[in-house]
Each structure stands twice: as structure tokens, then as C-alpha cells.
Amino acid sequence: MVRFAHIADCHLGAFGRKPELREYNIKAFEDAIEKCIERQVDFIIIAGDLFHNPLPDMDIVNRTVKLLMKVKNAGIRTYAVYGSHDYNLARASLIDVLESAELFKNVVNYLESENRLTTVKDKTGVSITGLSGRKNRLEKGYYEQIEFDTPDGDSIFVFHSPIAEMKPVDIPDKNVVPISSLPDGYDYYAGGHIHRPLEDLKDGKPVIFSGTTFGSSYTDLEREEKRGFYMVEDWRPEYVPVDVCSMVKVLVDAEGFTASEVEEMLIEKAEAVLEGDIVLVRVQGKLFKGSPQDIDFASIINLLESDGERTVFLNKNSLEAERVEKVKVDEEREEVIEKKVFEEQGTPEGTQGDLGERLLRILKSEKKEGETTTDYENRIWHQTRSLIENIKEEGELEEKPEKELDPQKPSQLTLESYGGAPE
């Protein structure tokens, strides 16, 4: 009887800006390893993305090495393939270093001369063949080009690619591999890359995505309900959950509400949160009035964090400001559009109806050929003042005391000069 563990997408070193979450992440991996040792598995399969990047923080590396040493000292073998986050074309990955230290075996054995993958034989007699994942799913073509050995006896195929028949809706169709592309004849297909546990069959044999042990992003934390790995005994898979912390989700739909109303809803919901090591807050929708900047999110986060040692994640990417109505005109001529604007916006009380249009024409006039900047500014100034004085004479504007101005210094002009600002 064979007993092994199937783990994937640990993403150790993720959440670099959130040390609390980074700690939960590696604790989840530690918990999975402890369960493997307790159950006395024969070996562990890591189906890619052990680390979040090829060269993670040295503290993460140190703790990972200690865990793998503990596994090795317990007489348990570890086999792995590259995930899309483990790969580094420019230089060696830490996966290569760990293999050189004999902490695990990379089961991707490609014979270039024969264009085929060969298997690795475990002490139990199980043959293990692997195909690594690459960024942007560059490994997709490998399934069509490479020859696979026909397994002899008990066998496992390890891969890190999304399968078309099993993919979630958020993974593009162009990046998937059909289940028919997986090589035939294996007893168990150990998948990685999809961060949720999924099960299917190929020729009656289990095709399994173990999911993530914790997650690597806000989306993972918010979306995934189950975190853990698979334990397989006598080829029967069993999902083993990993729970290192509790999570609470707070959702506020801002659609049709003002910014102040949304803030009140957030405060009310925050005060109702009594438990949870991690609080995930999502605010979405279009505000009826105001903008996201009008909401005091910092106070909301402080309110949630004041109740204990919590990590608060705020997602307001889907929150939109109020819609600003635009003037709708069919004509493309500039002067017609301007006229529509004045008509739709109205004219200030106590002014002549076409004052705005006449003033705009003056301000839009361009410099004449040979006219200096000073002459141009003085001309605009005199025309504008003349227009205002004519309106005053018609009695449409309230008279204000005239100030003495030097027409050669347009910078002296203010709203008060026109009688349009309060004294």
C-alpha cells in the first residue's frame, strides 16, 4: 500500500508588505508538513509554486530548509516540479539549490536527444514523471511536442497547468490544456497552479488540483473557502484542510448611496465584527453622491484593528464616484456646442442672457500678426472692460465703486474690479 501527500501552490514568501499574512502563509506549509509526518507518508509531491518568487527572502528560505530537513530525517522523500513562480530563465532558481542539497528531487527529466520525458522511481516502486509550469503558460506546447514514456506499474504524473475541463471562469481559455493532452496510463495526476481543490477523472483515474495551502493575494483570501492539500492512500484521494487563522468578510454595496451613508454602513458593520484574525473589507458600486476620497477608510480600519491583533485588507477598486452629467449635443461645430452649454447650464441671475457668450468670444480671440504679448493682454483687457461697462449702463449689473487701475498693468485686474465680487 502506497501513501503520499500532494501539495501545491504554497507561495512561500508572498505578502511581503504584510508580515502577519506572510507568517500565516508559512505556518500553513508547516502545518501541512507536520500532518504528513504524523500520517507517515512514503513521499510528498509538490506540484509547483513552492515559493512566490525564484529567490525569496532568506528568512523564508531558512525556515523552508529546516522543514524539508525534518521531512528527510523522518525518512520521507520529496519530489517537485517548477511552478510558474519558481521559474527563472536568467539565473538558477532556489528549487535548483534545494535539489543540489538533496532536500528533494526534481522529477522533470527531459532527454533532449530523444525529445521525451523519463520517469523517476521511488523506493515504493511508484514511477513519477513531471512537467513544470512556465510563466504565461509557455509549457502548453510541450504537451503536443514531447514524447511521454508509458508508465510501468503504479505511476504519478505531476504538472502545473490549468486543465480546460476543470478551469475556473477567471482563467482565459487560451492558457489552458485539454485533459486529453495529459499522458495516458497514469494512476494519479497531481496538478498545481489553480488555487482551489478540484477533482476530475482521466480514463477513470483521478486528476486532482490540491489547491493552495494558504494563498498569495487578496483575491485568494477573499475567494477561496478551502485551503489545504491531498493525502492519497492506496490511490484514494482525501482532502486535508489547513486552518491557521480565521477570516471574516465585510461587503458593502455603495450603489445608490452617498459617500457619508456608505461610511455609516461601514462603521456599523465594523462594530459588529467580533471575531476574525483577518478581516477582508470590500466596498463596491457607484456612489449616488460624492467620491471614495470622501470616505474615512483609515478610521474604519483603525476601528476594526482596535478589537485585537487583526490584519485588515481593504478592497475599494470597484468603488466609483458619482456620475457627472455631461452636456449632450449632436452638433460638432464648436460655437453650437458652446451655445448648448450656456443654454443647459443657465445664466447667472442679473446678467444679460448672452453675456457669457460675448465674454467667451473676447477671451478666445487670438493674437494678431505682429502683436506683442503685452499688447494682446491689454486689448483683451480693454474689450472685456468695455463689455462690462456697457452692461452696467444698461442697468443689468449692480454698480460698484470703480477702482483706479493702470491699463498697462493687467495683473491688477480682480473680480472686484468688475463689481462681481463681494466687498
- DSSP notation for 199-262: EEEETTEEEEEE--SS-SSHHHHHH----EEEEEETTEEEEEE--SS-EEEEEEE-TT-BHHHH
Instruction: Please state, in angstroms and rounded to a whole number, the distance separating the CA atoms of residues 148 and 129.
Output: 9
Half-sphere exposure of 110 (CA within 13 A, CB side): 11
- Residue holding cell 461645430? 333
Instruction: Please state, in angstroms and rounded to a whole number, the distance separating the CA atoms of residues 323 and 412.
Output: 39
Beta bridge partners of 258: 289
For 18-47, letters b (16+ CB in 10 Å) and e give beebbebbbbbbbbbbebbbeeebbbbbbb
Choosing from 6, 52, 85, 160, the catalytic residue is 85
User: Is position 85 annotated as part of the catalytic site?
Assistant: yes
Consecutive H or E run containing 335:
helix 334-345
Close Cβ partners of 76 (under 8 Å, ≥ 6 residues apart): 36, 37, 41, 42, 43, 44
| E strands, 136-196, in order | 147-148, 155-159, 188-191
Given a contact cutoff of 8 angstroms between Cβ atoms, the answer to whether 5 and 41 are in contact is yes
Instruction: Please state, in angstroms and rounded to a whole number, the distance separating the CA atoms of residues 262 and 319.
Output: 11
Nearest to 194 by CA among 178, 181, 211: 211
Determine the residue type at 394.
E
Determine the residue type at 332.
E
How many whole angstroms from its chain centre is CA 6?
Answer: 27
Nearest to 165 by CA among 209, 128, 211, 216: 209
Consecutive H or E run containing 393:
helix 373-393
Any idea which residues carry the catalytic annotation? Answer: 85
